[in-house]
Amino acid sequence: MENKLLFTLILIIGIAVGSWFTFTSQPTTLGSAGSRLLDTWSQSTSTIATSGLNTVVNPNTARRYLVIQNLDGTNFVYLHFGTATSTGANSYKLTAGEEFVISADNLYLGKITGLADTASVDLAITEAY
């Protein structure tokens, strides 16, 4: 009987101590120490015209995440990965209200330019680095 009681007490104390260490050793920042994925981020807007070279985001070698959202209700914008002033096969058509996400799966660190189709378009941009 004493052995069962001792075993039960040791088991309960072990579970309590293990749980305490598990809960108190949780990370205090988002992301691991190696990646530190979302430690720093910025938000901005950009108005994209129907002609010319319109920079959406500049190159950023520290970029880890980027969201570009078309705030327009009817007009679309072409995103080009690099520097371009026209639409083409290398452009992505961002429709009204749509968002484009760049993350670890499709990480692009270079410049993104844009060209609106029929009227100027406002874009919301969130970038983490």
DSSP for the chain reads -HHHHHHHHHHHHHHHHHHHHHHHT--SSSS-TTT-TTSSEEEEEEEEPSSS-EEEE---TT--EEEEEE--SS--EEEEESS-SS--TTEEEE-TT-EEEE-GGG---S-EEEEESSS-EEEEEEEE-
- pLDDT at position 32 is 46
Q: How far apart are CA 61 and CA 27, in angstroms?
A: 26
Q: Is the pLDDT of residue 23 over 90?
A: no
Question: 26 in a domain, yes or no?
Answer: no
Task: Tell me what the mean pLDDT of segment 67-82 comes to.
Answer: 94
Task: Tell me what the mean pLDDT of segment 9-16 comes to.
Answer: 67
The first and second tokens of residue 81, run together, are 């990965």
pLDDT band for 16, please (50, 70, 90 cuts): low
Question: 4 in a domain, yes or no?
Answer: no
Question: 91 in a domain, yes or no?
Answer: yes
Question: 10 in a domain, yes or no?
Answer: no
pLDDT tens digits, one per residue of 44-55: 999 999 998 899
Task: Tell me what the mean pLDDT of segment 18-44 comes to.
Answer: 59
Q: Closest by alpha carbon to 49, among 98, 118, 95, 97?
A: 118
Question: 13 in a domain, yes or no?
Answer: no
More confident call, 19 vs 127: 127
Counting residues of the chain whose pLDDT is more than 90, the rounded percentage is 54
Question: 56 in a domain, yes or no?
Answer: yes
- pLDDT at position 122 is 96
- pLDDT at position 87 is 73
Q: Is the pLDDT of residue 101 over 50?
A: yes
Residue-number span of the structural domain to which 104 is assigned: 41-128
Tally of domains within the chain: 1
- The residue whose two tokens read 């001792």 is 6
Q: What is the CATH number of the domain that holds 46?
A: 2.60.120.770
Question: 96 in a domain, yes or no?
Answer: yes
- pLDDT at position 33 is 47
- pLDDT at position 88 is 72
Question: 119 in a domain, yes or no?
Answer: yes
